[in-house]
Amino acid sequence: MSKLSIRDLSLNNHRVLMRVDFNVPLEDGRVVDDTRIRETLPTIEYALRHGARLVLVSHLGRPKGKPNPTMSLKPVAERLRMVLDKELARGENVGFCPECIGPEAEEMAGKLEQGQTLLLENLRFHAEEEANDPKFAKQLAGLADYYVNDAFGTAHRAHASTVGVTRFVQKSAAGLLMEKELQYLGKVLRHPERPFIAILGGAKVSDKIGVIRNLLDKIDVLIIGGGMAYTFLKAQGEPVGKSLVEGDKVELAHQLLKEAKSHKLKFLLPTDHVVAEKIDANALVQTVGSGHIPPNMMALDIGPKTIEAFTEEIARALTIVWNGPMGVFEVAPFAKGTFKVAHAIAENVGATSIVGGGDSVSAVNAAGVADKITHISTGGGASLEFLEGKKLPGVEALTDKK
Rounded-to-integer distance, Cα 117 and Cα 395, Å: 24
Catalytic residue among 138, 204, 213, 266: 204
Q: Indicate the SS3 state at residue 37.
A: helix
> Residue 236's closest CA among 194, 290, 284?
290
- Please choose, from the candidates 372, 16, 55, 5, the residue with its C-alpha nearest in 3D space to the C-alpha of residue 177: 5
Q: Distance between CA 237 and CA 242 in Å, rounded? A: 15
CB atoms within 10 A of CB 178: 32
- Please give the Cα distance from 188 to 305 (Å, whole number): 29
- For residue 227, indicate whether it is catalytic: no
> Which distant-in-sequence residues (6+ apart) come within 8 Å of 100 by Cβ?
57, 120, 121, 122, 123, 125, 126, 140
Identity of residue 113:
E
36 annotated active-site = yes
Catalytic, 394? Answer no
Nearest to 99 by CA among 147, 133, 136: 136
Q: Which amino acid, one-letter code, is at 332?
A: A
According to DSSP, the residues that pair with 118 across neighbouring strands are 55, 95
Does 381 qualify as catalytic in the annotation?
yes
First-to-last CA distance in the chain?
A: 12
Residues 3, 15, 19, 36: which is the catalytic one? 36
Q: Which residues contact 363 (CB under 8 A, 6 or more apart)?
A: 325, 329, 338, 339, 342
Cα–Cα dist 244/203, whole Å:
7
* Options 51, 65, 142, 381, the catalytic residue: 381
Phi/psi region, residue 264 (left: phi>0; alpha: psi -120 to 50; beta: rest), is left
- Check 358, 389, 390, 391 and give the catalytic one: 358
**Would you name the residues annotated as active-site residues?**
36, 204, 358, 381
